[in-house]
Amino acid sequence: MSAMRRIVGRSIAYVVLLLIGLVGIAPFLYLLVLSFKRRIDIISEVPPTLHFDWAAIQANYNEIINYQGILTSLVNSVIVVGISTFLALVIGTPAAYAFSRLQFRGRDTWASTILSFRFMPAVAVAVPIYLLMKAIGLTDTYPGLILPYVAFSIPLVVWILIGFFDEIPTDLDDAARVDGCSRFQVLTRIMLPIMRPGLVVAAMFGAIFIWNEFLVALFVINSPEHSTITLTAATLVSAQRPIDWNIAAATGVVTVIPILLFSFVVQKYIVRGITSGAVR
């Protein structure tokens, strides 16, 4: 009898597990299916069938590539995200190392002040940043986005990296110091190679954050040629009345696919990044 109960219990648990997974992933699959359909089919086929017409798929994705300039936006996003993340790491890594290793007055205050910038509402800085960029003539340029994005991702990067530095035994530093390395040399020659996982996690979270950002881009960028992918997706949807859902869905798919790929590749680090970035 008790064996019976166990089997029933297990089965229920697996049904629940399946449902949880479904709630997580079904919305994306629905978006993907819509992006494969004709405008008319979205309205007439409820629910959408899994019968796909290659011509319709081509037409949708051709339209966003040829008329909505999605490729340009993708390239813009890759450039902006790449440079911003790289700079945030270059500036943030030494800072995280200092917080983990050096003793100086007000260290904890400095550290939590830097963290607190992670919680700043984007709307609070979007207008001043826009006016600043306008004043120095950087509106509608890559640097106009990169400069503020680096500032946005530094707190995230620093806080993730402090956690990783804290895990490396200080004996390593001491040994290298005895061998005559300067602090900076310890960082670049000893720490960076060991820190590779930490750098990957920090870069990943910084990159996703910048990829998703769109309020500052909305203010700073005003031409399709410099628009990031998220901004393009946002303006495409908000400008249309009524929305062409096949096009909106295809744009959504193209916007999130890089994140999906990225997050599956570095899956084992995701939890680590969230807990070390948040739980500190």
Q: Which of the residues 60 through 89 are near other proteins (CB under 8 A)?
A: none
- Least distance (Å) from other proteins to the CB of residue 225? 20
User: At residue 250, what is the residue type?
Assistant: A
Q: Assess 132 for contact with other proteins (CB under 8 A).
A: yes
Helix (H, G, I), strand (E, B) or coil at 33: helix
CA 191, CA 25: separation in Å to the nearest integer? 38
Binding pattern to other proteins, positions 222-241, x when CB under 8 A? --------x--xx--xx---
Rg (CA), the chain: 23
- Least distance (Å) from other proteins to the CB of residue 55? 21
Q: Assess 46 for contact with other proteins (CB under 8 A).
A: yes
Q: Assess 174 for contact with other proteins (CB under 8 A).
A: yes
Q: Assess 212 for contact with other proteins (CB under 8 A).
A: yes
Q: Assess 162 for contact with other proteins (CB under 8 A).
A: no
CA 2, CA 46: separation in Å to the nearest integer? 44
CA 277, CA 280: separation in Å to the nearest integer? 7
Q: Assess 194 for contact with other proteins (CB under 8 A).
A: no
Which of 126, 138, 199, 200 lies at the binding interface for other proteins (CB under 8 A)?
126
What is the phi/psi pair of residue 174, to 5°?
-60, -45
CA 16, CA 247: separation in Å to the nearest integer? 34
- Least distance (Å) from other proteins to the CB of residue 181? 9
How many residues make contact with other proteins (CB under 8 A)? 95
Which of 128, 167, 189, 265 lies at the binding interface for other proteins (CB under 8 A)?
128
The separation between CA 149 and the C-alpha centre of its own chain, rounded to angstroms, equals 12
State which residue, 3 or 102, has the beta carbon closest to other proteins: 102
CA 229, CA 257: separation in Å to the nearest integer? 12
